[in-house]
Copies of this chain bind each other. A is one copy, B any other.
């Protein structure tokens, strides 16, 4: 593998690490206290199982992404890393899909089920959650690109090279 390629992959992994870490932090820090006449209520991520799962999944991805940075380029373990990348991409996909589904209900509600949108009451909380979701999506996209690149370089699925 050439040096520019290796640096490019390292930068991608750094970007993925940054995205997942900041997604977890932004979601974990999202918080708003709203007042409704004399009632006060609090919106935070622990109130929604899907958001808790999002934080946990992105934290796991960050820890994994951190340790992979120190793996030497010549290591044969990169093949194992590809398998872990697949599992991690699935984990991130599921966490983002679940959080997006709940955020969609929070934004638009679901009139058939009688669930009212809550983003009008806790607008700043909703913005923080949206930011976390965008960061999570960026991280997922980078992992997906890394995965496609690994598969491409290891398997040559498009049969570009003559055998």
Contact = CB atoms under 8 A, between A and B. Distances in A.
Contacts of A1: none
Contact of A94 (B76, B94, B148, B155): B94
B112 A47 contact: yes
- What interface size band does chain A fall in? 35 or more
Nearest to A113: B118
Classify the interface of chain A: helix, strand, loop or mixed. Answer: helix
Can you tell how many copies of this chain the complex includes? Answer: 2
Contacts of A49: 101, 104
Interface string A96-116: 111111101110001011111
A7 interface: no
20 contacts: A41-B112, A47-B113, A48-B112, A48-B113, A49-B101, A80-B158, A83-B151, A83-B157, A90-B93, A93-B94, A94-B94, A98-B100, A101-B102, A102-B105, A105-B115, A106-B113, A113-B115, A113-B118, A114-B118, A115-B115
